[in-house]
Amino acid sequence: MSVPLIYTAAGIFLFLLGTYGLVAYAHLLRKILAANIMGSGVFMAFIAVAGRTPGAPDPVPHAMVLTGIVVTVAFTSVALALAVRIARTSSRVHLSGRDEEQ
Amino acid sequence: MTPGPLLLFDLLLPAVLLWLAWRSLTSSDLFRAVILFIAFNLLLALAWVRLEAPDVALAEAAIGAGVTGTLLLAALTRIESAAGRRLSRPARWRPAALVLTGTALLAAAAGLLWSLRLLPTMPGGLGPLVDRHLAESGVDHPVTAVLLNFRGYDTLLEVAVLLLAVIAIWCLDEAVPFLQQPLESPLLTGFNRMMLPILLLSAGYLLWLGSHAPGGAFQAASLLAAGLLLALFSGASLPAQWSGLPLRLLLVLGFLAFLAAAIIGPLTGRALLHYPPAWVKPLILLVEWLLTLSIALILTATVIGGRPTGSRPYPPPASPAAEGRQR
Amino acid sequence: MDAVLLTHPWSVWTIIVPLAAAVLAFLVPRRAPLAGIITALSVALFVAATAYRIFLAGPHTQMLGGWQAPLGITLRADGPALIMLLTSGLVGLTVSLYATGYFTAADRQQRYFWPLWLLLWAACNALFLSGDLFNLYVTLELVTLSSIALAALNGSPAALDGAMRYLLAGLLGSLSYLLGVALIYGAYGTVDLTLLGQTVRADGLSRAALALMTAGLLLKTALFPLHFWLPPAHASAPPPVSALLSGLVVKAPLLILFRLWFEVFPDTATAGMAHLLGILGCGAIIWGSLMALRQQRLKLLVAYSTVAQIGYFFLLFPLARGEAAATAWVGVFLLVLAHGCSKASMFLVCGTITRLAGHDRLAGLAGAGGTLGARLLVFALAAVTLVGMPPSSGFIAKWLLINAAIVAGQWWYLATIALGTLLASGYVLRVLSLAFTESQSPPLPVAPRILRWPPLALSVVAVLLGLAAFHPAVLTLAGAPVSGIILLEMVP
Amino acid sequence: MDPRDILSIVFLLAAAPFFLAGTIGLLRFPDVFCRLHALTKADNLGLGLIVIALALQADTWLQSARLLLIWLLVMLSGATVAHLIARTALRAGRKPWSGRS
Amino acid sequence: MTELCLGLALFLLVTIVLGLIRIRRGPSDADRMLSAQLFGTTGVAILLLLGQATDRTFWWDVALVFALLSAVTAIAFVSRNEPSETAQQQRDDHGS
């Protein structure tokens, strides 16, 4: 079992864990956390899968993951702003139609 | 090959990461979830180090430790002050739905893991190709070369995404100060007085490093943003006359410079982003410096979370960091 | 003159000009509408130049930064991209004109509509031209994020809610897509579509990657049963935004799907997977149409109609396997163009009606003679294309799809198309009948010209495109991954 | 064996208990103020010993200086944060533990 | 030497795992923030040790960034609790 493979597997599990969290939880902040965890898993798998080259690591996936991280930060900040706005306009912390579930 | 403790480390770290992620998703208190997530980000940087991705590790350390944590805490505070602090539990699912989802996720995990065995044992990768053209790229560090030259188009659009995030956030709301009063503590003032120059210097160091070693514009910008946030916490603010057009100009400056550099190509009969060979180095340097400044302001603006109105005391601050960079 | 026309990379400017204009609109909000109109006209011009170049000199590529793939990113101006650009040019121009009248200067929404829309436009054009898996991810994120911001533009609780749903679904979709890209890069060491098309092996890993990417993109295209986020987001946004979301944005992930399935993974995708998509498409057609029939509000009706129309696009996957491939291909791309124009026009009419009547409840519109009735007639004209009545482009498109289904011997798709058409006429007639009931309401003011003419012009274009369908049809096949003859006659 | 190596090993071995003490203190001490106390042990001494050990091994002065800078920064942050958190806790009405729990 | 550095890094990772218990127990937000702070310091130490063990000192730059930013989140936390002290009181009562 090689080291990159361990991290690839961990990345895939993080991705699925995040997917579960995104679907199962109603609180918007939790959903955003879950999406971030998903993203981390994807990035980890990306780097690990491409990091098996012998010698110096391949710089291209590193650059791609950097781009991905920035994009995810942008999404996270907009998502948080939306969540705050929803909380302020309707005192809700989740999407409509799920009030009973909290 | 792998020494014993290192292998143990590599087994323990992913396990801890998964556990942290799990706890962060399941703990009923949201503040705890956010703290666990911050810890998760911290350890994630260690994972990047283990995967020999120092650039990603730097970015994760800068973003995860500085910006994301602050972003989440600020958002949590605002949400709680609007809707109250509540516990959050998973939706009560019907057992059938739970079983179905669980099975689907586990099946996906099994399928994906099983497909990994098909990965080539000796992958190609683009590393050698990047090395071969590194001399023509204008920088000496492969990751920076990919980001700013070989795949510069991705980076151009990525900066557009960041800019878009600010526009979207401003469109949603006006800035809500999350401090009703600045933190007043002589210790913090002293701390800031020492920290801001150090952050500015370190940002310059990372930016300079990026041309030949791990580092670069985004990481440097995150440090600058952290400096701006520190200044913000201790009550610094942007003068009202700066919060309009000048601020917007600073926000878009990096992107505009990048765009201008990009269209030199099509205007002179080359491809988009194809720099004239003699200008590659200075152009990339200029774009990188301006990008650092703009991205730092963009990241700060996302944490502030709304359009500065000029009248309120907490628009983006004009800290020494920002001013030093503008001149 | 011709030398420049045939060698200059015109398509690049359809990305650059809106990007620059977006920045200007953000900097100087007062001049934003002007920047928008100038951009709209120039994008239309650049699309025309691109079409001319493809028509005369065939598809062409551009290596960005002068770096050849796999090191660099390649932009590709080929037939499929061109049809998408045409859609984007037509819809974009119309909506831009409409928006100058819809948002007023005092409006907070105007301040942000223009930069957001121009960024969205640049992102859509960039996506249509991209020939690189990872670059497609970045452009798709740009498309999604700007769409989300636009969907939340009016700040109403419903719009915020819809935008949030959209955002979460979008994140899930794009991360799933990115994981697929990671696997592909790990296996083949490149993300260039053309190179991948030559090297991809039809093994389990490719299938896993394809499944991940497809799942993510299905969520982003809102294919039934993953459409849950679309109606709230599309129906609660301001009408010009709804027109863009339905007319343009849903087609972005769709094009990526087509490129993946037919260019990169033609052998990896099994017939079973293709039929699964086809059956989901059928489900979308029927479910979306039924839901549209039940809606009480005009905008929701149109939004559910989008859910249904998305289904037709997915019929390509099963129908393009075999001898009818070219027929189905042309049919679906024509349908994309037709649907883009007609749906955008319908949403714009909704906007004018809401502006006049103050609401869009169907019950409240009954007896809408006079000025509202005229708007409803424009709606009906747009619906001619949507339903697929001759001689509209929608008719030609569906005709081709039906031919492909017959040739492929897949009768159930034929039946679904027929049923979908029937249901579509049902919900359109339901709206239209409002115009012919006795008028009770007091007369309403006439809408300003800028809110009347653009939708009318767009729906007329959509109908007339049917008469000129041969040219787009030929262009669609330029550089397309399918070839063969276009079967215009019924060949059982 | 080089005496520098021996010194480094001694310092590294000495660092471990401080981190452990920091963690145990974090777990076992009765209130937030005591725990702060434990935390600063790890910051100042544990990390300090590691930094000294590694600085002994460094090839150039620049590297040693970088290590020292990191240590100084952590101490500075640690002190400031400890002060601020203690202040927050005090303002929130938490009484420092006085020996009777 | 290398082995020792690695062993110590592993040991520090274990102390982080132990420290997670405090995040779980709380009782107050300040306690949790404190644990995160300790993780930051420990993370810096691990980075230094790993960099030494594998002879790649560019990882010390990552440690430097950690050290630079370790205060930012904590200060954000403190400022979050700054405005109204009564609210903080309620929050703590609720949290414990």
- pLDDT at res. A102: 35
Higher model confidence: residue B264 or residue B182? B264
Q: What span, in angstroms and rounded, lies between the C-alpha atoms of C484 and C475?
A: 14
3-state SS string for D7-70: HHHHHHHHHHHHHHHHHHHHHHCCCHHHHHHHHHHHHHHHHHHHHHHHHHHCCCHHHHHHHHHH
Higher model confidence: residue B299 or residue D35? B299
In this prediction, residue A99 has a pLDDT band, given cuts at 50, 70 and 90, of very low
How many angstroms away from the CA of A85 is the closest CA of chain B?
A: 7
- pLDDT at res. C134: 97
Q: Is B248 on the interface with A (CB under 8 A)?
A: no
SS3 label, residue C368: coil
Distance set, CA A52 to CA A49, A55, C68, C185 (Å): 6, 9, 24, 12
Residue type, position C81, single letter: A
Q: ipTM of the assembly?
A: 0.93
- Domain count across chain A: 1
Segment A41-61 mean pLDDT: 86
H or E element that contains C62: strand C60-63
Determine the residue of chain E that is closest to D62 in CA distance: E57
Asked if pLDDT for residue E95 goes beyond 50, the answer is: no
How many angstroms away from the CA of B183 is the closest CA of chain D?
A: 9
Query: Tokens 């991810």, residue?
Result: C137
Q: Where are the domains of chain C?
A: 274-492
Domain limits at A45?
3-96
Distance set, CA C198 to CA B117, C188, C204, C211, D41 (Å): 22, 11, 17, 19, 60
- Domain count across chain E: 1
Query: Within chain C, which residues score under 50 in pLDDT?
Result: 491-492
Percentage of chain B lying above the pLDDT 70 cut: 88
Percentage of chain C lying above the pLDDT 70 cut: 97
Q: Where are the domains of chain D?
A: 3-91
Asked if pLDDT for residue A69 goes beyond 90, the answer is: yes
- b/e per residue, A38-61, with b = 16+ CB within 10 A? bbbbbbbbbbbbbbbbeeebbbbb
Asked if pLDDT for residue E88 goes beyond 60, the answer is: no
pLDDT digits (tens, 9 = 90+) for B177-226: 655 566 777 888 888 888 899 999 999 999 998 888 888 899 999 999 99
Among B46, B67, B205, B222, most E C-beta atoms within 10 A, so best to mutate, is B46
| Partner-chain residue, chosen from B32, B49, B62, that has the shortest CB–CB distance to E69 | B62
Percentage of chain E lying above the pLDDT 70 cut: 82
- pLDDT at res. C369: 64
Asked if pLDDT for residue B314 goes beyond 60, the answer is: no
- pLDDT at res. B3: 56
Other CB atoms within 10 A of residue C23 CB: 24
Calculate the dihedral angle through the C-alpha atoms of B232, E78, B59, E41, rounding to the nearest 10 degrees: 130
Q: Under 8 Å CB-to-CB from D71, ≥6 apart: which residues? A: D47, D48, D51, E67
Distance in angstroms between the alpha carbons of the first and the last residue of chain A: 43
pLDDT digits (tens, 9 = 90+) for D47-65: 999 999 998 888 888 889 9
CB within 8 Å: C185 and A49: yes
Asked if pLDDT for residue B156 goes beyond 90, the answer is: yes
Q: Per DSSP, which regions of C387-468 are E strands?
A: none
- pLDDT at res. B310: 53
- pLDDT at res. A29: 93
- pLDDT at res. D38: 74
Q: What span, in angstroms and rounded, lies between the C-alpha atoms of E36 and B104?
A: 34
Asked if pLDDT for residue E90 goes beyond 60, the answer is: no
- pLDDT at res. B180: 53
> What residues in B contact E46, CB-CB < 8 Å?
46
CB within 8 Å: B73 and E2: no
- pLDDT at res. C328: 92
How many angstroms away from the CA of B61 is the closest CA of chain E?
A: 6
- pLDDT at res. B184: 73
- pLDDT at res. B324: 38
Here the CATH number for the domain that contains residue A15 is: 1.10.287.3510
Calculate the dihedral angle through the C-alpha atoms of E41, E43, E44, E47, rounding to the nearest 10 degrees: 160
Calculate the dihedral angle through the C-alpha atoms of C291, C296, C297, C300, rounding to the nearest 10 degrees: -10
- Which one of A32-41, B84-93, B227-236, C322-331 scores highest in mean pLDDT? A32-41
pLDDT digits (tens, 9 = 90+) for B277-290: 888 999 999 999 99
Which residues, listed in sequence order, are joined to residue C361 by a DSSP beta bridge? C297
| Chain A residues within 8 angstroms (CB to CB) of chain C | 12, 15, 18-19, 22, 28, 31, 35, 38-39, 41-42, 45-46, 49-50, 52, 58, 60-61, 64, 67-68, 71, 74-75, 78-79, 82-83, 85-86, 89-90, 95-96
Residue type, position B120, single letter: P
pLDDT digits (tens, 9 = 90+) for C241-261: 999 999 999 999 999 999 999
- Find out whether C250 and C310 touch, Cβ atoms under 8 Å: yes
pLDDT digits (tens, 9 = 90+) for B33-78: 998 999 999 999 999 988 889 999 999 998 887 889 889 988 998 8
> What residues in D contact B70, CB-CB < 8 Å?
none
Residue B158 phi/psi, 5° resolution? -65, -40
CB within 8 Å: B45 and E66: yes
Segment E46-59 mean pLDDT: 86
Other CB atoms within 10 A of residue B93 CB: 15
pLDDT digits (tens, 9 = 90+) for D74-91: 988 888 888 888 888 787
> What residues in B contact E95, CB-CB < 8 Å?
29, 31
Stated pTM of the model: 0.93
Count Cβ atoms within 10 A of the Cβ of residue C265 and give its class: 0-12 exposed, 13-18 middle, 19 or more buried. buried
- pLDDT at res. A100: 37
- Find out whether C384 and C463 touch, Cβ atoms under 8 Å: yes
Count Cβ atoms within 10 A of the Cβ of residue B324 and give its class: 0-12 exposed, 13-18 middle, 19 or more buried. middle
- pLDDT at res. C105: 74
How many angstroms away from the CA of C450 is the closest CA of chain B?
A: 25
- A and B in touch (3+ CB pairs within 8 angstroms): yes
Count Cβ atoms within 10 A of the Cβ of residue C442 and give its class: 0-12 exposed, 13-18 middle, 19 or more buried. exposed
Determine how β-strand C74-77 pairs with β-strand C60-63: antiparallel
